């Protein structure tokens, strides 16, 4: 208001419109009474309570950095209401309030303005004084809005009231007019001179060039309701088109993408804050199921479907895996499919194709999977032919380690069944001491001396979000070598260890089943 040049405020009526006004370059925002009441769907007659207005202002203030001037109607009551209003506005970092010299409850100035009575001058001056006495911030401002022209009282009354309000402590005068030409406000400004800054709202005399106001020395111009009116026009047009066309084709190109809504809401800042303040497990966890192979060991069962879609207890094996993952809270699940891929069609999955499944190994599927997921969440990698109790995945998902594996201490059972297994040697065997120690993986192999075996790797790897890119790059390097085209996940684990990566071991005992034979399929029904 004290600037030597003409400045402008733009109307806003909620948090997102306030952000839009600030981004457009406005130095301040007008919290319009008309717009605030309209966005609530009520009339501009104090039908929205002042506490409801305060709540919306708080959202606007939190969303922006520029000062906000509230259209405070009549101050929502007498001098005592005004004192409380100022305190509450200051608590919400609102810079100023404008009050008008009419009676509570007010009516919009452009609806039968000449029939609206004005407030008693002395009573209104007392309200200004009470507001100034209540403020604790010296920079908080009270703008006195003179409605003499609206009510048909003329220039003399307008100047008389403005001077009384100046002496009562007002920081600026808003002179209002409902004429289609600026004659009244220009006459007032000439008579008033520069006793206090003068604010105008040229809603009705919008055709007047801004240079006219600049040359007459006005302080502030308020564009009072145009964001609301523009929004109404756009919403009406979109709603009518949707109702008539019954599809989104004709409107999608005319509306902003959802990503723009997220941007205005500050979604990126929240994502960055989550990285700083949330433990890794709170970022959310996703799963990648490697299920591209046929599973020839199951014979006729996989002639028309891959192993992951073989039915166990009436449902595909993959459905049981998804159910266990869901039970741990993992909903974001990607599946790498290959053999008879069209049969892998369960809902709510991110399906990734590996059309090289026949001439490649697990690492090709892993690389395609890592390229097909969003790397913002921690990742659980597992095979598509393993049944398991949910707690096995849960202990990995809750681990704060960047890399972790689950190792089954009941490895002798696998050895006795003469089934092929991936045995693990760790930094220390499973024992009472290992519960409190940080056990790490040393080596994984199908061929290992029994004295060196500490357990069986169960096919699960936890990869932290910050490690996903690095692991993907390592897999890429491995696959550049022709002899590693058919490399498997244990090869990757061993190379990670060789490269100095610490892979945390989580010991478990049983409660999982690797489907490697027809006997396993039969046994799986009782798992």
Among 445, 441, 425, residue whose Cα is nearest residue 491: 445
Please name the residues in contact with 214: beta carbons below 8 A apart, sequence gap of 6 or more: 5, 6
Contact criterion met (CB below 8 Å) for 103 and 119: yes
Q: Which of 7, 44, 93, 122 is catalytic?
A: 44
Query: How far apart, in whole angstroms, are the C-alpha atoms of residue 277 and residue 151?
Result: 57
Query: How far apart, in whole angstroms, are the C-alpha atoms of residue 309 and residue 318?
Result: 6
The H or E element spanning position 59 is helix 50-63
- Whether the link from the prior residue into 105 is cis, omega within 30° of 0, is yes
Backbone dihedral angles phi then psi of residue 118, each to the nearest 5 degrees: -95, 160
Catalytic-residue membership of 44: yes
The residue assigned the tokens 């003329």 is 154
End-to-end CA distance of the chain: 76
Give the per-residue SS3 of 182-224.
CHHHHHHHHHHCCCCCEEECCCCCCCCCHHHHHHCCCCEEEEC
Contact criterion met (CB below 8 Å) for 483 and 383: no
Contact criterion met (CB below 8 Å) for 333 and 286: yes
Enter the tokens of residue 284.
Answer: 């959310």
What DSSP designation does 117 have?
P
Enter the tokens of residue 352.
Answer: 């990734």
Query: How far apart, in whole angstroms, are the C-alpha atoms of residue 490 and residue 493?
Result: 5
Dmax over CA atoms of the chain, in Å, equals 107
Backbone dihedral angles phi then psi of residue 183, each to the nearest 5 degrees: -55, -45
Contact criterion met (CB below 8 Å) for 165 and 191: no
Give DSSP secondary structure letters for 141-156. EEEEEE-TTTTT--HH
The two beta strands, 7-12 and 220-223, are parallel
Enter the tokens of residue 21.
Answer: 């006004």
Enter the tokens of residue 459.
Answer: 């096919």
Q: Please give the distance of CA 181 from its chain centroid, rounded to a whole number.
A: 46
Q: Where are the alpha helices (DSSP H) in 193-343?
A: 210-215, 226-245, 249-252, 258-265, 267-277, 317-327
User: CA-CA-CA-CA torsion for 127, 59, 45, 128, nearest 10 degrees?
Assistant: 10
Residues involved in catalysis: 44
């Amino acid at each position: 208001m004290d600037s030597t040049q003409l400045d402008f405020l733009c109307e806003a009526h909620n948090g997102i419109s306030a952000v839009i006004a600030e981004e457009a370059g406005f130095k301040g925002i007008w919290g319009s009474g008309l717009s605030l009441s309209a966005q609530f769907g009520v009339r501009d007659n104090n039908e929205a309570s002042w506490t409801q207005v305060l709540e919306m202002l708080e959202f606007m203030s939190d969303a922006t950095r520029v000062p906000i001037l509230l259209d405070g109607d009549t101050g929502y009551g007498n001098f005592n209401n005004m004192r409380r209003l100022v305190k509450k506005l200051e608590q919400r970092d609102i810079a100023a309030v404008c009050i008008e010299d009419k009676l509570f409850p007010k009516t919009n100035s452009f609806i039968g303005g000449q029939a609206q009575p004005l407030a008693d001058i002395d009573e209104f001056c007392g309200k200004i004084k009470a507001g100034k006495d209540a403020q604790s911030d010296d920079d908080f401002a009270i703008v006195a809005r003179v409605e003499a022209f609206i009510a048909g009282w003329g220039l003399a009354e307008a100047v008389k009231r403005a001077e009384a309000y100046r002496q009562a402590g007002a920081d600026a005068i808003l002179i209002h007019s409902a004429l289609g030409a600026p004659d009244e406000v220009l006459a007032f400004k000439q008579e008033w001179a520069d006793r206090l800054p003068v604010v105008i709202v040229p809603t009705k005399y919008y055709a007047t060039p801004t240079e006219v106001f600049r040359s007459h020395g006005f302080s502030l111009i308020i564009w009072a309701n145009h964001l609301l009116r523009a929004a109404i026009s756009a919403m009406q047009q979109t709603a009518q088109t949707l109702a008539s066309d019954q599809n989104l084709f004709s409107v999608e190109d005319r509306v902003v993408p959802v990503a723009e809504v997220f941007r205005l809401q500050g979604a990126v800042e929240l994502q960055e804050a989550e990285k700083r303040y949330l433990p890794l497990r709170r970022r959310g966890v996703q799963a990648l199921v490697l299920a591209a192979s046929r599973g020839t060991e199951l014979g006729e069962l996989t002639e028309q479907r891959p192993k992951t879609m073989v039915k166990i207890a009436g449902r595909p094996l993959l459905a049981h895996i998804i159910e266990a993952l869901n039970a741990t809270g993992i909903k974001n699940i990607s599946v790498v499919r290959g053999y008879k891929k069209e049969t892998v069609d369960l809902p709510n999955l991110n399906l990734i194709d590996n059309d090289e499944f026949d001439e490649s190994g697990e690492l090709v599927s892993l690389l395609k999977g890592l390229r097909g997921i969003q790397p913002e969440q921690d990742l659980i990698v597992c095979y598509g032919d393993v049944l398991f109790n949910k707690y096995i995945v849960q202990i990995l998902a809750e681990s704060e380690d960047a890399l972790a594996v689950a190792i089954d201490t009941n490895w002798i059972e696998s050895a006795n069944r003469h089934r092929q297994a991936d045995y693990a040697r760790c930094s220390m065997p499973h024992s009472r001491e290992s519960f409190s120690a940080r056990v790490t993986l040393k080596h994984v192999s199908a061929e290992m001396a029994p004295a060196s075996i500490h357990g069986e790797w169960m096919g699960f790897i936890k990869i932290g979000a910050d490690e996903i890119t690095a692991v993907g790059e390592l897999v890429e390097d491995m696959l550049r070598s022709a002899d590693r085209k058919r490399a498997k996940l244990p090869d990757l684990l061993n190379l990670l260890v060789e490269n100095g990566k610490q892979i945390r071991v989580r010991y478990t005992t049983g409660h999982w089943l690797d489907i490697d034979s027809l006997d396993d399929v039969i046994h799986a029904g009782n798992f």
